[in-house]
Amino acid sequence: MNMNMNINIGTDLVYIPKFKNLDRAALEKIFNIDELEDSRIEHLAGIFAAKEAFFKALGKKINWLDVLITKNVDGQPKLVYQPLTNNSLVSVSISHDGDYALAAVVIIKDN
């Protein structure tokens, strides 16, 4: 392993029912248009958890809309944040069970 690597991890757990009463205006402050295409509440809660986990791994909170959670060709979640350099790797995982959504994000930076 390269000793100049920096590994940051963030996790977040979300109570899914808290998203039931959000109106469209509130949703549009958190989620990009593409993320809102699938409006299932568990889907949105998972994206919210992934963004929060990313902020924790990044070490700061940024604009919600600057981060996009999408899927790769295999259907796995993918996080897009343009300011990360090419020498950074971001991995995201989202899971749902009952009333909860969980996300974990790992950022590996090669200094």
Give me the DSSP letters along the chain.
--TTEEEEEEEEEEEGGGGTT--HHHHHHHS-TTGGGS--HHHHHHHHHHHHHHHHHHTS---GGG-EEEE-TTS-EEEE-TTS-TTEEEEEEEEEETTEEEEEEEEEEE-
Active-site residue among 43, 60, 96, 109? 96
Active-site residue among 20, 29, 43, 56? 56
56 is catalytic: yes
29 is catalytic: no
Query: Could you list the active site residues?
Result: 56, 96
